[in-house]
Structure 1
Amino acid sequence: MNKAALVSITATILLFLAAGTGFYFLYTHYENLTVQASSTLGRELSLEEQGEIDANPDLKSIIHETQKSVVQIEVTTSDGKNVGSGFLYNEKGDVITNAHVVSGASEVTVKTSDAKQFSGQVIGKGETDDVALVRVPDLAGQEPLAITKERLAETGDEVIALGSPLGLQNTVTTGIISGTDREFTLDPYRYEGVYQISAPITNGNSGGPLIDQHTGEAVAINSAGTDSGAIGFSIPLPNVLDKIENWASEGTEVKSEEPEVEEDTTEEDSSTRGLTGEDFENSASYLIGYFYESLDTRDYLTAYSLLGSRWQSEMGYENFREGYLHTLGVRVTNLTGKLSEDRESVLVTGTVEAEERTDDKKTVTSLYSVNYEVAYENDQLKILHGKAKRLK
């Protein structure tokens, strides 16, 4: 079984911790407050710029916002379980993916960027076109991904491929459109007029969106790649939108011709919600990584939404946000999860290097060890509490 794994977080320029000493504030005043991550990809922002995200989003912001509409798709077939990707098409909860991702599916589960899991049904699947539509009722009302409906991409356009290659959820690769109007056959699917891209597509990446780096719109469906992984191929969305819209309008479940698969209940219990211990650990570590990424892009609302209800009742959103305004950058490493003996929660630990601006406008760098408890609350993973210990 493919598993969602810990995302390697390298993000930039967080605007955290309100009172002067950043993580020192966390360390001395809020034992349970979480910390955050960054990378060296961005520039340092002035205090005047430490407000809301700019009207013209940068690449990092585009990636983060896009990930909210990208899902990992796990499919159960008579041969076992497979992992692919997809993205939200409309407010009905319909998810675009590849036909080969859901072929023979007796059960479809989607996992969102904030580690929530929902069941889905295939309501449309191409016979020769490698495109499919999965309806996920629990995603109804969510904001779909912006897509290009008419304009075709051109050679040289800069793009971002998102998906879950090898089960690594919400992995991002960048590249360009290196060719157009490519044609080939991978039985039973015929690919016509597809884009050739320099961003690699591997197992699990199929079905995810190809994003225009400058507009943030989905321009194609990542669908196939070479054995070497150096070249990928993506189906232009304008070529298949009529078919997708017909499926969305009809909304009829496509019954699998595969035999029913008897559910495997090995290692399943109410605490892990059917996950193996390793899956639970990986999902918890992923959630902490996504929390860091949300803070990194100043998406404080999403970060706050990942906290458990008790933590939120003890600290309102405004206090949470104001607690992060003077940290300039953070690098997090070594995130690992360990399942508790009672299998009720996972302890996620890591190391954080924080660059902070003090009250006298000096910049200091500190190192912290951090740990978080992650568990299910109302059937969804939440961060129950966390601690930071200053190392130097």
Structure 2
Amino acid sequence: MNRNRWTGLIGAALILVGGSVTALYMKAQVPAELQGAPLLAVGEQNKSLKDIIFQTQKHVVMIETDTGSQGSGFLYNSEGDLLTNAHVVAGVRHVTVKTADARELEGEVIGISTDTDIAVVRVPELQGTEPLPLVRYDKAEVGDEVLAVGSPLGFQNTITTGIISGVDRSLHIDPYTYEDLYQVSAPIEPGNSGGPLVDKKSGAVLGINSAGLEDSTIGFSIPIGNVLPMAEGWSREPMTMLPGLSLLDEPVQEQEETSLDQMAGYLVAHFYDSLNNGDYVYAYSLLGGNWKEGTSYVKFREGYLMTRNVVIDDMHVSTRDDEATVTALLSVDERKDGEYVLSKYQVTYKAAYENDQLKLLTGTGKAIKK
């Protein structure tokens, strides 16, 4: 059976695992020495199953939000950063994190994607804690034995076992696109979202449990190596704005004290952060309505596919009435003739509020000759 037909057959039954249990019933590049997590090959170490479970559970947490969403997460670096699913923490900046030793800690969402179901939550109290080992480069194979760890139905640190029953699965569960997934036979319930898929022999994290088939033992996990660069980018430079939230998620009175020129500068910086992380959907969402009408998402994305990294060298912001003008000097790594070259640009943006959201209304740029 071809993949498209297979995907269509399960599409109706497939739902995200985790997120809001009350609102929805769901079943379903930093060097290693800097990020602090050992990066292992599949099955590299052999430990007893009890040891692996004990060591893993210490680093897996339950995540709860004020909106009623509940899921899981796990410590992936020594900075106190947790990896989880975007649908677990969507729409909030601050979350409650419950650890295996019964502590309740505050966590802050420092990075989240609108098209890849991945997010990073920072918990300052966990800084300096040794994280789980990660499988960055190798891929699991069909038949590999795995453990799924999480908080299904609110039962924290539950372990389920199974095997990798399929690889390279691709799915779409609006608004997220899933590619190159592991299909697993480990039972996955509501609340498992964001928990780790662990290699049974080594205890290393293979993936992030994300979705499953209702009333089934078929689940799906995002390979950890596919999303580590994005997560590490947020850990290096946390987002100043999150999708669906007001800038900086500050109280209303504090937002009113923040000037338009500051917000416009944040907006442009965040626009390029999103592009650098490959989150073109979110970057496109920062454009104003008129700009979007004249530029399709496909055309917008194509314009940045050959760009590897953008650095803002200098920025100047001026305001007039209710509109801000942002002029920035950029250093850009662009792919030309099969190799990356450094280019310099001057760009100018107009920013103003549309429906209470600050947007980039227009943008122009010109190359600066060396």
Please give the TM-score of this superposition, normalised by the length of structure 1. Answer: 0.51
Asked whether 1:179 is paired with 2:144, we answer no
Determine the structure 2 residue equivalent to 1:144: 131
Cα shift at 1:92: 0.7
Determine the structure 2 residue equivalent to 1:73: 63
Distance in 2 separating the partners of 1:249 and 1:229: 38
Which secondary structure does the structure 1 equivalent of 2:65 belong to?
strand
The answer on whether the counterparts of 2:93 and 2:109 sit within 8 Å (CA) in structure 1 is no
Determine the structure 2 residue equivalent to 1:115: 102
Cα shift at 1:56: 4.8
Cα shift at 1:202: 1.8
Cα shift at 1:256: 5.7
Determine the structure 2 residue equivalent to 1:63: 53
Distance in 2 separating the partners of 1:106 and 1:241: 21
Asked whether 1:188 is paired with 2:178, we answer no
Matches within 5 A, 1:276-287: none
In the superposition, relative to structure 1, how do residues 254 and 153 fare at CA in structure 2: closer, same or farther (>3 Å)?
Answer: farther
Write the deviation string for residues 134-188 of structure 1: whole angstroms up to 9, x where unpaired: 0111110111011101001100000000000011100000000000000110000
Asked whether 1:250 is paired with 2:218, we answer no
Matches within 5 A, 1:84-99: 84-99=71-86
* Higher RCO (CA < 8 A, seq sep 6+): 1
In the superposition, relative to structure 1, how do residues 56 and 184 fare at CA in structure 2: closer, same or farther (>3 Å)?
Answer: closer
Matches within 5 A, 1:100-111: 100-111=87-98
Distance in 2 separating the partners of 1:145 and 1:106: 24
Distance in 1 separating the partners of 2:151 and 2:176: 22
Determine the structure 2 residue equivalent to 1:204: 191
Write the deviation string for residues 236-263 of structure 1: whole angstroms up to 9, x where unpaired: 011111111111110235446258899x
Cα shift at 1:228: 1.3
The answer on whether the counterparts of 1:202 and 1:229 sit within 8 Å (CA) in structure 2 is no
Write the deviation string for residues 192-239 of structure 1: whole angstroms up to 9, x where unpaired: 000000012221000000000001100000000001131100000111
Q: CA RMSD in A?
A: 2.2
Which secondary structure does the structure 1 equivalent of 2:69 belong to?
strand
Letter in 2 for 1:63: I
Asked whether 1:156 is paired with 2:143, we answer yes
Distance in 2 separating the partners of 1:106 and 1:151: 33
Determine the structure 1 residue equivalent to 2:322: none
Which secondary structure does the structure 2 equivalent of 1:183 belong to?
strand
In the superposition, relative to structure 1, how do residues 183 and 202 fare at CA in structure 2: closer, same or farther (>3 Å)?
Answer: same
Distance in 2 separating the partners of 1:204 and 1:171: 10
Matches within 5 A, 1:217-366: 217-255=204-242, 257=244
In the superposition, relative to structure 1, how do residues 175 and 126 fare at CA in structure 2: closer, same or farther (>3 Å)?
Answer: same
Which secondary structure does the structure 2 equivalent of 1:138 belong to?
helix
Distance in 2 separating the partners of 1:85 and 1:71: 6
The answer on whether the counterparts of 2:111 and 2:242 sit within 8 Å (CA) in structure 1 is no
Please give the TM-score of this superposition, normalised by the length of structure 2. Answer: 0.54
Letter in 1 for 2:47: P
Matches within 5 A, 1:4-15: none
The answer on whether the counterparts of 1:76 and 1:261 sit within 8 Å (CA) in structure 2 is no
The answer on whether the counterparts of 1:148 and 1:217 sit within 8 Å (CA) in structure 2 is yes
Determine the structure 2 residue equivalent to 1:270: none
Distance in 2 separating the partners of 1:136 and 1:253: 16
Letter in 2 for 1:102: V
Distance in 2 separating the partners of 1:100 and 1:2: 12
Distance in 2 separating the partners of 1:135 and 1:225: 26
The answer on whether the counterparts of 1:162 and 1:172 sit within 8 Å (CA) in structure 2 is yes
Task: List structure 1 segments (4+ residues) > 3 angstroms apart after TM superposition.
Answer: 252-256, 258-262
Letter in 2 for 1:70: V
Distance in 1 separating the partners of 2:173 and 2:159: 25
Letter in 1 for 2:193: S
Which secondary structure does the structure 1 equivalent of 2:97 belong to?
strand
Determine the structure 1 residue equivalent to 2:122: 135
In the superposition, relative to structure 1, how do residues 235 and 57 fare at CA in structure 2: closer, same or farther (>3 Å)?
Answer: same
The answer on whether the counterparts of 1:73 and 1:85 sit within 8 Å (CA) in structure 2 is yes
The answer on whether the counterparts of 1:75 and 1:106 sit within 8 Å (CA) in structure 2 is no
Distance in 2 separating the partners of 1:154 and 1:254: 38
Letter in 2 for 1:237: I
Which secondary structure does the structure 2 equivalent of 1:240 belong to?
helix
The answer on whether the counterparts of 1:194 and 1:235 sit within 8 Å (CA) in structure 2 is yes
Distance in 2 separating the partners of 1:206 and 1:156: 22
Matches within 5 A, 1:33-52: none
Unaligned regions of 5+ residues in structure 2, if any?
1-19, 23-44, 252-370
Residue identity over aligned pairs, in percent, reads 54
Kindly tell me the number of residue pairs found equivalent between the two proteins.
Answer: 208
Which secondary structure does the structure 2 equivalent of 1:123 belong to?
strand
In the superposition, relative to structure 1, how do residues 145 and 254 fare at CA in structure 2: closer, same or farther (>3 Å)?
Answer: farther
